[in-house]
Amino acid sequence: MINSMKNLMKNRICLVTGGTSGVGRAIAAGLTELGAIVIIVSKSAERGAAAVKDFRRKTGNSQTFYRTLDLEKPDRIPRFVEQFRQEFQTLHVLSNNAAVFPRKTEFTPGGMEKIFAVNYLAHFVLTYSLLDLLKSSAPSRILIVSGSPSILKYGKINMDDMPPKKPVHPFRATYLAALAKVAFSYELARRLEGSGVTSNTFHPGLVKTNLTRHFPWIFRIPVSLAQIFFSQRCDTGVYLASSHEVEGITSQFFKRKKIVSFHPKQPLEAYASELWEKSKQWTGLK
């Protein structure tokens, strides 16, 4: 790494969900390399501590930490946010990546379909609860991982069927959650206009993943083989979190560090605002 890059993110406070694996881990590692103060959100203290140890060892950046939060339990988010606020007082980058992919439909303790609940809804609550901190820390950035824009553009969300109540195939649920995240990013940008807080979504590229960890070995073997071609890095995510080139850029879809034009068949304006309001109702946010 070029020496001047090592301090690009010095004193910038970044909160990264999913920081123990896959996209989140790649982004957290990249930001640690750039000198940021990185806090990863981890469901397990053990995995969080192991990831932090690895980041510190590889980069020498001791300003990297983990804090535990189970995103399946959104009622724990307010306390997590309060503790984060007291401890760090500032937030420059919120990077939303945590995700689940169970073998078949599962429901959270609150009775919500798990993929929609963790991948999208928990991040809605977390982000919403951190908005005032992001605003007071501006310029600040929110980044939300979604998926391939060329696939997502054909998607449709029927608000009457949200949140998914009946069993829904994990691939379908992942697709719906990714679409919801794109709409969420768009709506965030609209509501945050002029605040100094930007919001963008991105396709991470092919990043080494543990998403299929609950699948039978017969399915995991080909996935593991394919992962020979996957990267340990997520350059687009790190770029969005750190580069001066994207300062002030908001409401965009990024792929390979470039803005892609995204014109879905169902325009985001058609449902993004309703999704926002309903998400507040579903989660009891005031």
Ligand X SMILES: NC(=O)c1ccc[n+]([C@@H]2O[C@H](COP(=O)([O-])OP(=O)(O)OC[C@H]3O[C@@H](n4cnc5c(N)ncnc54)[C@H](OP(=O)(O)O)[C@@H]3O)[C@@H](O)[C@H]2O)c1
Contacts of 236 (CB under 8 A, 6+ apart): 202, 203, 204, 205, 254, 255, 256, 257
Q: How far is the CB of 175 from ligand X (least distance, A)?
A: 9
Residue 9: closest CA among 202, 199, 197, 238: 238
Short-list 186, 179, 152, CA closest to 163 = 179
Min dist. Cβ of residue 28 to ligand X (A) = 9
> Of 15, 130, 30, whose CA–CA distance to 67 is shortest?
15
Is-contact 200 149, C-beta < 8 A?
Answer: no
Measured from the CB atom, is 8 or 182 closer to ligand X?
Answer: 182
Look at the chain and count its residues: 286
Binding mask 215-254 for ligand X (x = CB under 6 A): ----------------------------------------
Select the residue whose beta carbon is closest to ligand X and give its number: 22
With binding defined as CB under 6 A, does residue 264 bind ligand X? no
What's the rounded Cα separation, in Å, for the pair 165 and 146? 22
Which of 159, 206, 226, 259 is the binder for ligand X (CB under 6 A)?
A: 206
According to CB under 6 A, which residues from 20 to 79 bind ligand X?
20-24, 41-44, 47, 69-72
| Residue choice 14, 15, 99, 130 for contact with ligand X (CB under 6 A) | 99
Among residue numbers 172 through 191, which ones bind ligand X (CB under 6 A)?
174
The answer to whether 94 and 133 are in contact (CB under 8 A) is: no
* Other CB atoms within 10 A of residue 153 CB: 17
Q: For ligand X, which is the closer residue by CB, 34 or 112?
A: 112
Site string for ligand X, 135-164 (x = CB under 6 A): ----------x-x-----------------
* Contacting residue, 204, 253, 262, 276, with ligand X by CB under 6 A: 204
| Residue 209 makes contact with ligand X by CB under 6 A | yes
In the three-class reduction of DSSP (H, G, I as helix; E, B as strand; rest coil), residue 119 is classed as: helix
Which range in 123-131, 151-159, 190-198, 209-217 contacts ligand X by CB under 6 A?
Answer: 209-217
Q: CA dist 172 to 16, 87, 118, 167, 175, Å?
A: 25, 39, 15, 10, 5
| Residues at the site binding ligand X, with contacts judged by CB under 6 A | 18, 20-24, 41-44, 47, 69-72, 97-100, 118-119, 145, 147, 174, 204, 206-207, 209-211
